[in-house]
């Protein structure tokens, strides 16, 4: 799928944490390179965990395999950013607030991904929507930035460009494509879903995450909202990664927790990555042309 996105004119990103270890990531990079001669990158997201993966090993493997573009996100990225920059990489860092974006600039990142509250996964704890964040980014930031969270069509792309972004980042929308390596049943469920079919978990733990609103997610929220709340240890069995992977491999929507953004409301079909990107560019160009035509002075009669 990473190769399909890059071949279609986007920048595919291979998520390191989808691999069990650094050697598996190395093989995934080699496989992707066999499928495309276009640029692609690697995402390394640093998440709180009892037994964290060896992030350094992931980074070293990617650098040794010649990857030059990295997306970073999560907790305390400074050492990772420093290592990647020392090896000549371009670093795009994902932020959910403007103050975090400014800190990332001081670390030396090249590009920022401004991640609004609409996103899947971790939107931060301040509940600030993407439109406001992007407008603030235009006021405050002096490095290029792209827009993340809630994007899935050409109108959204045009809107992001009008707010000063140089492009958009999509995750949920790409899940409902032909090349996405997930069960067809999940793709079809996404087409039938709406923007109301997501829910936030871990709010009481200050580690908010937006996921699909299935029975498992609703049970997590119920436990969090009971008197006295819930500790992570009480939720661990419900949110285990092994259960989440079963969603994608077996097509059981209620097998575990799986991330999805409000972009669900924009998904009406399951195209190839190329069909999706070509359509989005046409739509964005159409919106921009329409707006430009409205600004042209009318000819005098």
Q: How many helices (H) and strands (E) does the chain have?
A: 13, 9
Share of the chain above pLDDT 70, in %: 97
Dihedral over alpha carbons 17, 23, 29, 31 (to 10 degrees): -120
pLDDT band at 215 (very low <50, low <70, confident <90, very high): very high
pLDDT in tens, 279-291: 999 999 999 999 8
* Amino acid 21: pLDDT: 95
Contact between residue 121 and residue 253 where contact means Cβ atoms under 8 Å apart: no
Distance between CA atoms of residues 244 and 229, nearest Å: 23
DSSP run (H or E) holding 16: none
Can you give the pTM of this predicted structure?
A: 0.92
* Amino acid 238: pLDDT: 96
Question: What's the whole-number mean pLDDT along residues 180-186?
Answer: 97
pLDDT band at 106 (very low <50, low <70, confident <90, very high): very high
Contact between residue 213 and residue 199 where contact means Cβ atoms under 8 Å apart: yes
Cβ neighbourhood burial of 195 (10 Å; 0-12, 13-18, 19+): middle
Distance between CA atoms of residues 163 and 90, nearest Å: 23
The yes-or-no verdict on residue 67 having pLDDT over 80 is yes
CA angle 141, 16, 27 (to 5 degrees): 135
Residue 288 φ then ψ, to 5°? -65, -45
For 127, the 3-state DSSP assignment is coil
* Amino acid 295: pLDDT: 76
Distance between CA atoms of residues 209 and 97, nearest Å: 16
For 239, the 3-state DSSP assignment is helix
pLDDT band at 76 (very low <50, low <70, confident <90, very high): confident
Closest to 47 in 3D by CA, of 130, 126, 121: 121
Contact between residue 108 and residue 85 where contact means Cβ atoms under 8 Å apart: yes
DSSP run (H or E) holding 276: helix 273-295
Residue extents of the structural domains in the chain: 2-181
Instruction: Describe the strand order of the beta sheet including 90-95 as a list of residue ranges.
Output: 12-15, 40-46, 69-74, 90-95, 111-115, 145-148, 168-169
Q: Rg of the Cα trace of the chain?
A: 20
The yes-or-no verdict on residue 49 having pLDDT over 80 is no
pLDDT in tens, 147-173: 999 999 999 999 999 999 999 999 999
Residue 109 φ then ψ, to 5°? -65, 155
Domain 2-181, classified CATH 3.90.1150.10, yes or no: no
* Amino acid 50: pLDDT: 67
DSSP run (H or E) holding 83: helix 78-86
For 113, the 3-state DSSP assignment is strand
Alpha helix locations (H) across the chain? 2-7, 22-35, 55-64, 78-86, 98-107, 130-140, 154-162, 172-175, 184-192, 215-225, 232-239, 241-250, 273-295
CA distances from 118 to 24, 154, 263, 267, 280 (A): 31, 17, 8, 15, 19
Closest to 44 in 3D by CA, of 31, 28, 57: 57
Distance between CA atoms of residues 220 and 225, nearest Å: 9
pLDDT in tens, 12-38: 999 999 999 999 999 999 999 999 999
* Amino acid 271: pLDDT: 98
């Amino acid at each position: 799928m990473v190769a399909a996105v890059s071949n279609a004119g986007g920048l595919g990103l291979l998520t390191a944490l989808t691999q069990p270890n650094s050697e598996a990531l190395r093989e995934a990079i080699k496989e992707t390179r066999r499928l495309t001669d276009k640029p692609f990158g690697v995402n390394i997201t640093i998440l709180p965990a009892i037994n964290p993966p060896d992030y350094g090993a992931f980074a070293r493997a990617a650098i040794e395999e010649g990857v030059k573009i990295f997306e970073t996100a999560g907790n305390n990225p400074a050492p990772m950013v420093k290592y990647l920059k020392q090896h000549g990489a371009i670093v795009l860092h994902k932020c959910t607030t403007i103050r975090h974006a400014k800190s990332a600039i001081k670390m030396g990142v090249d590009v920022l991904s401004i991640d609004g509250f609409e996103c899947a996964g971790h939107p931060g704890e301040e509940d600030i929507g993407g439109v406001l964040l992007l407008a603030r980014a235009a006021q405050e930031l002096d490095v290029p930035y792209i827009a993340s969270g809630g994007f899935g069509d050409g109108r959204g792309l045009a809107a992001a460009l009008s707010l000063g972004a140089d492009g958009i980042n999509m995750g949920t929308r790409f899940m409902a494509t032909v090349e996405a390596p997930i069960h067809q049943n999940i793709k079809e469920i996404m087409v039938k879903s709406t923007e109301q079919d997501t829910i936030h978990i871990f709010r009481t733990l200050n580690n908010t995450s937006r996921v699909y609103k299935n029975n498992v997610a609703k049970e997590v929220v119920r436990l969090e909202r009971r008197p006295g709340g819930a500790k992570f240890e009480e939720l661990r069995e419900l949110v285990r990664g092994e259960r989440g992977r079963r969603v994608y491999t077996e097509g059981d929507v209620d097998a575990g927790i799986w991330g999805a953004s409000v972009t669900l409301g924009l998904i009406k079909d399951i195209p190839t990555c190329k069909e999706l990107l070509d359509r989005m560019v046409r739509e964005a160009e159409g919106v921009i042309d329409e707006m430009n035509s409205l600004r042209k002075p009318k000819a005098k009669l």
